[in-house]
């Protein structure tokens, strides 16, 4: 099996079933070495703000999968905060929105945001995930 190029990936999603399944796929396919999970935008943003004060590049994920509809702080609000700090993190982070929303307004909005690499509509396929992880620039 190919050794994974990605050290750390991050999922921000409140659907625990979805997160478990993705975890299992990543494990089964050894897509990355470590995975961290946040239940909503606020938890994730808090994490990044802490890292900002205590720069440790190993704790910064190379890839983020962000849900839109979440309690407390949704994906849009997270993006607002994240865009402000992401350049200070000193590492390229590829961010995908992964949502079950097929609302064209959401899709347009996502594509208009610079930090967003692509908009994936749930369900994602194992092939999608593989190609995202394997084509990720090191």
Residues that bind other proteins (CB under 8 A): 15, 17-18, 20-22, 24-25, 28, 69, 71-73, 77, 100-103, 122-126
Q: Would you call 13 exposed, middle or buried from its count of C-beta atoms within 10 A (0-12, 13-18, 19+)?
A: buried
Nearer to other proteins, 7 or 81 (CB): 81
Q: How far apart are CA 113 and CA 119, in angstroms?
A: 11
In contact, 134 and 127? CB cutoff 8 Å? no
Q: Which H or E element spans position 62?
A: none
Q: How far is the CB of 138 from other proteins (least distance, A)?
A: 25
Nearer to other proteins, 1 or 102 (CB): 102
Q: How far apart are CA 84 and CA 73, in angstroms?
A: 16
Q: How far is the CB of 100 from other proteins (least distance, A)?
A: 4
Nearer to other proteins, 84 or 88 (CB): 84
Q: How far is the CB of 21 from other proteins (least distance, A)?
A: 5
């Amino acid at each position: 099996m190919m050794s994974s190029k990605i050290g750390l990936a991050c999922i921000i999603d409140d659907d625990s079933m979805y997160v478990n399944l993705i975890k299992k796929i990543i494990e089964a396919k050894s897509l990355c070495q470590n995975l961290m999970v946040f239940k909503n935008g606020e938890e994730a943003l808090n994490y990044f703000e802490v890292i900002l004060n205590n720069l440790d590049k190993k704790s910064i994920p190379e890839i983020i999968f962000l849900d839109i509809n979440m309690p407390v702080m949704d994906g849009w609000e997270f993006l607002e905060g994240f865009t402000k700090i992401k350049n200070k993190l000193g590492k390229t982070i590829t961010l995908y929105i992964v949502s079950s929303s097929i609302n064209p307004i959401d899709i347009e909005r996502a594509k208009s945001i610079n930090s967003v690499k692509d908009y994936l509509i749930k369900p994602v396929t194992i092939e999608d995930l593989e190609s995202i992880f394997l084509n990720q620039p090191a």
